[in-house]
DNA sequence: CTGTTAGCGCTTTCAG
DNA sequence: CTGAAAGCGCTAACAG
């Protein structure tokens, strides 16, 4: 029914082994023979059977990319960058790898489930992006899973997430803490003393690190922390949190949001409340997503090199770039000062 | 080395077949036996070998989702919705399907390559999202590939893309033409007579249909078409196109953009040119992405039910929803009138 | 309800 | 450089 490697072999008048060799190109084959085989492949419209191949070779060409929220450009940009490093010049079989992105939706269970599914497929590598959930039980389960994956030969790269020791995984970590600190320092420098903070979901590493940076800056300046509200990383959450912040303390002169999307929601709430940005309230985000420079006023934020980090993760996954020394690289963020922050009203 | 199904069978004192049956849950097994097997699985930390299973069963639990640009929320939202219909309550093996999203970057070659890779994996279903490239050679190649995939038992769902006849594929198509028409009618109603158009990339079905709708409205109103500029679906393109439009015709009173992201770029260019929105120039987008309601002024646009469409595609892929009559469903867009459009200056 | 028996289609030593 | 043969780990009849 469906054409197999044996059919190709018959047609090309060679043995199945030879066909396999030319397809994988990892073994010397006479040019004339190769030609004949390739022709047969074309004529028969043959497509390699992935599972059979993976079974026999005990490895597959699948690379998994786990993201917390595929609808969020933060993850989309990283995932796209990871994939951009695969698949060479679109040739025939060759070094093609199927980069597959899996959406955990931020759920710890789904994260584990996807890892199992990937383990099942004997994935060549797994790139896990974005903040981790800090629940101890889940952290332990993850560490165990990662270790087993690593032992089974799957390369693991953590991208934008803290290292998990003793699992053989490689981590490219964003300096969320440093970025958070610089952002608040900027606001402090402008003269703000009452800074509301809209944090991300609790028990998330990104949330905690950004918040810690914020507090570091406050403490260094001897300024008391104002109100802090937690919520998911979406615009709705920013909208509601800003209203809550205003209710708790109508005198806030600045609001720092967990990320740019949240900041956008916060801006909407402020405007609805009749407050001007930045004249009445300054607003800052995090990540520097593409839209952030275009909103009005343009958003002050911390730029994270999402594309670069993802691309690097992709290269490491492909074995095309050496792993960083100590298996960990810290990637700094860059403060982008724009129109949404200014001196507080006198 | 790595634990196999045979190991589990030995430990549970049953035959491999029985283990397979409890794992797949598609065959009656005595409760006590099942318990024993499950315990052995846990104790041995056994993970099914996907390739072996796929090879023997001649099907896999992979579902591919092709997107043109994973960094664009338009696709992220649909892809996330597709996946949301898979994987039940996160149970053990069960009906889990590995939904994998593949980023074509809008390249026809990569689209074909991914389809081949998916065919190789014997994917259970493939969901292809977003506009198609209209180049005849590519269209033919795609039709052939889709037909072969279908024959091999892979279910194909086109989501947000026109049907491809005679391939057995199912299409959930957005009414881009109708949406485009209503949008321009809205502008015409407001009194605009000189409407610049920033179209998407040439040879894309979405581009063509939206543009046709625009022209339909113009023609029905007896208004001449103004300038039209083509470009990719990103903010940069919108920015440049708007400048170009202004250069060609400084008297435009309204600009319709290919989508919301492009509209945002266009807004930035207008503002730079000292033009107010909507007082001097009205701007409209398409898609109604999450940020569109939050930008200032809020964007008039055509809402496409991306999540609903993706979810439906996911359900069809899972075989949990009947295919639409005639294998084609047309999904309408909804005009969202907001602050970025108003009467032209007198 | 459970065990036995063949493969699924490919890769990979091992010879030639 | 090429062929022969032995599985990879699992599923699916077919008996019992």
Q: Which nucleotide is nearest to B31 (CA to C1')?
A: C1
Q: Which nucleotide is nearest to B27 (CA to C1')?
A: C1
pLDDT in tens, B158-196: 999 999 999 999 999 999 999 999 999 999 999 999 999
Query: Phi first, then psi: what are they for B237, rounded to 5°?
Result: -60, -40
- Considering only CB atoms, which chain B residues are within 8 Å of A51? 50-55, 60, 121-122
* Residues B201 and B162 reside in one and the same domain: no
pLDDT at B23: 87
The closest alpha carbon to A70, from A33, A35, A106, A115, belongs to: A106
pLDDT at B1: 62
Q: Determine which of A52-56, A91-95, A221-225 has the lowest per-residue pLDDT on average.
A: A91-95
- Considering only CB atoms, which chain B residues are within 8 Å of A103? 79-80, 83, 99, 101
In whole angstroms, C9 C1' to B54 CA is: 11
Is B230 an 8 Å CB contact of chain A? Answer: no
pLDDT at B207: 97
Chain A, window 284-313: residues with a beta carbon less than 8 angstroms from a chain B beta carbon: 290-291, 293-296
In whole angstroms, C8 C1' to B151 CA is: 18
Domain count, chain B: 3
pLDDT in tens, A149-179: 998 889 999 999 999 999 999 999 999 999 9
DSSP A259-305: SHHHHHHHHHHHHHTT--TTTT-EEE-SB--GGGGTSSSPPBEEE--
Task: Reply yes or no on whether the pLDDT at A283 is more than 60.
Answer: yes
* Residues A73 and A169 reside in one and the same domain: yes
pLDDT in tens, B59-110: 888 899 999 999 999 999 999 999 888 764 333 333 467 788 999 989 998 8
* Residues A120 and A220 reside in one and the same domain: no
B210 touches strand C (CB under 7 A): no
Please state, as a whole number, how many other Cβ atoms lie within 10 Å of the Cβ of residue B319.
11
Residue B189 maps to which CATH number? 3.40.50.2300
Beta pairing partners, A177:
none
Task: Reply yes or no on whether the pLDDT at A285 is more than 70.
Answer: yes
Tell me whether strands A254-257 and B301-303 are parallel, antiparallel or unpaired: unpaired
pLDDT at B251: 93
Please state, as a whole number, how many other Cβ atoms lie within 10 Å of the Cβ of residue B28.
7
- Percent of chain B whose predicted confidence (pLDDT) is above 90: 72
Task: Give the separation between CA A253 and CA A214, rounded to whole angstroms.
Answer: 16
Residue B38 maps to which CATH number? 1.10.260.40
Chain B, window 148-167: residues with a beta carbon less than 8 angstroms from a chain A beta carbon: 148, 152
| Closest CB from B47, B102, B268 relative to A100 | B102
pTM to 2 decimals?
A: 0.90
* Residues B117 and B230 reside in one and the same domain: no
Q: Is A54 left (phi over 0), alpha (psi -120 to 50) or beta?
A: alpha
Within-domain flag for A146: yes
A289 contact partners, CB below 8 Å, separation of at least 6: A73, A74, A77, A259, A260, A261
| Closest CB from A76, A98, A122 relative to B72 | A76
pLDDT at A31: 86
Q: How confident is the model at residue A87 (pLDDT cuts 50, 70, 90)?
A: low
Burial class (CB in 10 A: 0-12, 13-18, 19+), A197: buried
pLDDT in tens, A98-122: 788 999 989 998 899 899 888 888 8
Taking the mean position of all CA atoms in its chain, how far away is CA A128?
Answer: 7
* Residues A189 and A278 reside in one and the same domain: yes
Structure tokens at A8: 């190709």
Task: Reply yes or no on whether the pLDDT at A231 is more than 90.
Answer: yes
* Residues A92 and A168 reside in one and the same domain: yes
Within-domain flag for B186: yes
Task: Give the separation between CA B180 and CA B203, rounded to whole angstroms.
Answer: 17
Chain D, protein-covered positions (CB within 7 A): 1-5, 7-13
The closest alpha carbon to A198, from A231, A224, A226, belongs to: A231
Task: Note down the domain range covering A118.
Answer: 55-174+306-333
Please state, as a whole number, how many other Cβ atoms lie within 10 Å of the Cβ of residue A316.
24
pLDDT at B167: 93
Domain endpoint, select from B46, B65, B81: B46
pLDDT in tens, B217-242: 999 999 999 999 999 999 999 999 99
Q: How confident is the model at residue A96 (pLDDT cuts 50, 70, 90)?
A: low
Task: Reply yes or no on whether the pLDDT at A204 is more than 70.
Answer: yes
Task: Give the separation between CA B286 and CA B293, rounded to whole angstroms.
Answer: 12
**Is A96 within 8 Å of B113 when comparing Cβ atoms?**
yes
pLDDT in tens, B271-313: 999 999 999 999 999 999 999 998 889 999 999 999 999 999 9
| Closest CB from A53, A76, A267 relative to B71 | A76
Task: Reply yes or no on whether the pLDDT at B47 is more than 70.
Answer: yes
Beta pairing partners, B336:
B301
Within-domain flag for A343: no
Task: Reply yes or no on whether the pLDDT at A223 is more than 70.
Answer: yes
* Residues B3 and B122 reside in one and the same domain: no
Dmax over CA atoms of chain A, in Å, equals 88
Within-domain flag for A339: no
pLDDT in tens, B31-41: 888 888 999 99
The closest alpha carbon to B184, from B203, B200, B197, B199, belongs to: B197
| Closest CB from A75, A122, A293 relative to B51 | A122
pLDDT at A76: 95
Domain endpoint, select from A46, A64, A81: A46
pLDDT at A25: 82
Task: Reply yes or no on whether the pLDDT at B317 is more than 50.
Answer: yes
A195 touches strand C (CB under 7 A): no
* Residues A130 and A82 reside in one and the same domain: yes
Within-domain flag for A344: no
Within-domain flag for A341: no
* Residues A22 and A7 reside in one and the same domain: yes
* Residues B166 and B184 reside in one and the same domain: no
Report which DSSP code applies to B119. Answer: H
Domain endpoint, select from A29, A46, A63: A46
* Residues B300 and B315 reside in one and the same domain: no
Structure tokens at B296: 């200032």
The closest alpha carbon to A102, from A127, A73, A134, A72, belongs to: A127
Within-domain flag for B187: yes
pLDDT at B96: 65
Within-domain flag for A346: no
pLDDT in tens, A295-325: 889 999 999 999 999 999 999 998 889 999 9
Chain A, window 96-115: residues with a beta carbon less than 8 angstroms from a chain B beta carbon: 96, 98-103, 105, 107, 109-110, 113-114
Task: Give the separation between CA B89 and CA A109, rounded to whole angstroms.
Answer: 9
pLDDT at B336: 98
Q: What is the mean pLDDT of residues A201-207?
A: 95
Q: What is the mean pLDDT of residues B23-30?
A: 82
**Is B117 within 8 Å of A50 when comparing Cβ atoms?**
yes
Tell me whether strands A170-174 and A125-129 are parallel, antiparallel or unpaired: unpaired
Report which residue is nearest nucleotide C8 when distances run from CA to C1'.
Answer: B56
* Residues B261 and B311 reside in one and the same domain: no
């Amino acid at each position: 029914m469906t054409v197999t490697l044996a059919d190709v072999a018959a047609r090309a008048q060679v043995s199945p082994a030879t066909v396999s060799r030319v397809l994988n190109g990892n073994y010397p084959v006479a040019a004339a023979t190769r030609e004949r085989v390739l022709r047969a492949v074309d004529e028969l419209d043959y497509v390699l059977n992935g599972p059979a191949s993976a079974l026999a070779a005990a490895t597959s060409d699948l690379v998994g990319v786990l993201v917390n929220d595929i609808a969020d450009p933060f993850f989309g940009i990283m995932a796209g960058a990871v994939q951009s490093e695969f698949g060479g010049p679109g040739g025939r079989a060759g070094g093609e790898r199927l980069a597959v992105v899996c959406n955990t939706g931020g759920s710890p269970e789904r994260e584990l489930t996807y890892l199992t599914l990937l383990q099942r497929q004997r994935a060549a590598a797994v790139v896990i992006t974005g903040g981790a959930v800090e629940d101890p039980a889940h952290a332990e389960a993850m560490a165990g899973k990662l270790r087993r994956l690593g032992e089974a030969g799957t390369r693991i790269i953590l991208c934008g997430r803290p290292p998990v020791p003793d699992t053989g995984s490689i981590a490219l970590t964003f300096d969320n803490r440093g970025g958070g600190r610089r952002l608040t320092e900027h606001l402090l420098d402008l003269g703000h003393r009452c800074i509301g903070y809209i944090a991300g979901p609790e028990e998330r590493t990104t949330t905690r690190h950004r918040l810690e940076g914020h507090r570091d800056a406050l403490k260094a300046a001897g300024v008391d922390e104002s109100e802090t509200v937690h919520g998911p990383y979406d615009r709705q959450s920013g909208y509601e949190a800003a209203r809550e912040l205003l209710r708790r303390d109508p005198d806030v002169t600045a609001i720092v949001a967990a990320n740019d999307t949240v900041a956008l929601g916060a801006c909407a709430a402020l405007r609805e409340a009749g407050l001007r940005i930045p004249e009445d309230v300054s607003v800052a985000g995090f990540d520097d997503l593409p839209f952030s420079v275009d909103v009005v006023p343009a958003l002050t934020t911390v730029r994270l090199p999402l594309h670069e980090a993802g691309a690097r993760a992709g290269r490491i996954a492909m074995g095309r770039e050496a792993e960083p020394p100590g298996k960990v690289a810290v990637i700094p963020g860059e403060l982008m000062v724009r129109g949404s922050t200014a001196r507080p009203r006198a």
